[in-house]
Amino acid sequence: MNKVCRVPSFPTLLQDFFVERLMEQRGVSPETISSYRDSFRLFLQFASERLGRCPSDLALTDMDAPLVLAFLRHLEIERHNSTRTRNVRLAALRSFMKYAAHRDITSLAVIQRTLSVPMKRCDRPMVSFLSRDEIQQILSAPDPDTWSGQRDRVLLATMYNTGARVSEILALRIGDLVLGASPCVHILGKGRKERTVPLWRSTARLIKGWLPRIQDAPSQRVFPNRSGYAMTRSNVADRLRLAVSKATERCPQLAKLRVSPHVVRHSTATHLLQSGVDLSVIALWLGHESPSTTHGYLEADLAMKERALNSIQPTTNPKNRRYQPPDDILRFLESL
């Protein structure tokens, strides 16, 4: 007698997806878990309100294409999320549906229709970065005579030197530092990929001067808060904001710029590029998975040169009028 396979419930599938698939089988990073968790929190809340059932009573077949499309519209229109954020949320839902397809074959038709919901194309903004002088003014802004000011100086200098992401900087421990004849730092980046980034002598000196101010243990985080615990992303953003505010006194143009930790990372890459460092080396320096990501810095640098070129081009002859289509349908096509 054939056994009847029991179809797992939606709550069981979702729990297995996080525990078995993401954590045990794929071993994804805590950041990925957090991103997927937030995506499903938002989706389940939306689905619950729309269908009038609590999340635990939902079925996999409820997660159909119309509901997912409505959720994506909700993100963009009501929550004012960007297209990139919308695509991140959709990627989490699609990853779950691909997993569910192997566990519940009775719902394959619904799953296939949901997986057909496409990612939305979006413009890639031009990379923004600071000049070398602007960076130096920010790096020297924190007060070196206070504990937090000294930490901030070392923190910002290390961020600029390594071009590391905030999560990578906050994860640094004393055991990751090499401060000998060839100073460097070992960084655990995205996808659990390790890379080694050289430290400039000036950065190494700052770090050496900072280490006596914190506990001497290989597992000690290099940049703790006053309580000795790890700083948060918001802590880093706040400390950078304070440094920018102080640096604005000597560098007024900073008041017009939006300076984030990622802008510091962009500045590192752009300055390396302007110094003649090869794109492949910059990709390794920043921990980019694909060289195409690094190519954005080249585009940004070429854009500056193009703007300079356009500024010295001769003006066009005013007699050369723009072509005017003679027909309504041609005018419509020209307007597209």
Residue 256 annotated among the catalytic residues of the structure: no
Candidates 53, 132, 262, 331; catalytic one: 262
Which residue's entry shows tokens 């939305």? 120
Kindly state the tokens that stand for 277: 């460092």
Residue 165 is among the residues annotated as catalytic for this protein: yes
Of the candidates 86, 246, 266, 288, the residue annotated as catalytic is: 288
| Residues forming beta bridges with residue 185, ordered by sequence position | 177, 197
Catalytic, out of 190, 195, 205, 295: 190
Which long-range CB contacts under 8 A does 206-210 form with residues at least 24 apart? 206/153, 206/154, 206/157, 206/158, 207/154, 207/158, 207/177, 207/179, 208/179, 209/150, 209/154, 210/150, 210/151, 210/154
More confident residue, 25 or 301: 25
Residue 297: active-site member: yes
Please pick, among 36, 99, 160, 297, the residue that the annotation labels catalytic.
Answer: 297
One of 153, 239, 265, 266 is an active-site residue; which one? 265
In eight-state DSSP terms, residue 184 is: E
CATH number for the domain running over 10-115: 1.10.150
Residue 189: pLDDT band by 50, 70, 90 thresholds? confident
* pLDDT for 308: 47
- Which is the CATH superfamily of the domain at 132-311? Intergrase catalytic core (1.10.443.10)
Please list the residue range(s) of the chain that carry CATH number 1.10.443.10.
132-311
Confidence of residue 298 (pLDDT cuts 50, 70, 90): low
pLDDT single digits (tens) 107-120: 999 999 999 999 99
Query: What percentage of the chain reaches a pLDDT higher than 90?
Result: 64
Mean pLDDT of 163-167: 92
> What digits encode the pLDDT tens for the residues 18-50?
999 999 999 888 888 989 999 999 999 999 999
Mean pLDDT for the chain overall: 87
User: Is the CA virtual torsion 67, 71, 73, 77 positive or negative?
Assistant: positive
Distance of alpha carbon 18 from its chain centroid, rounded?
22
CATH 1.10.150 location in the chain:
10-115
Question: Catalytic site residue 205?
Answer: no
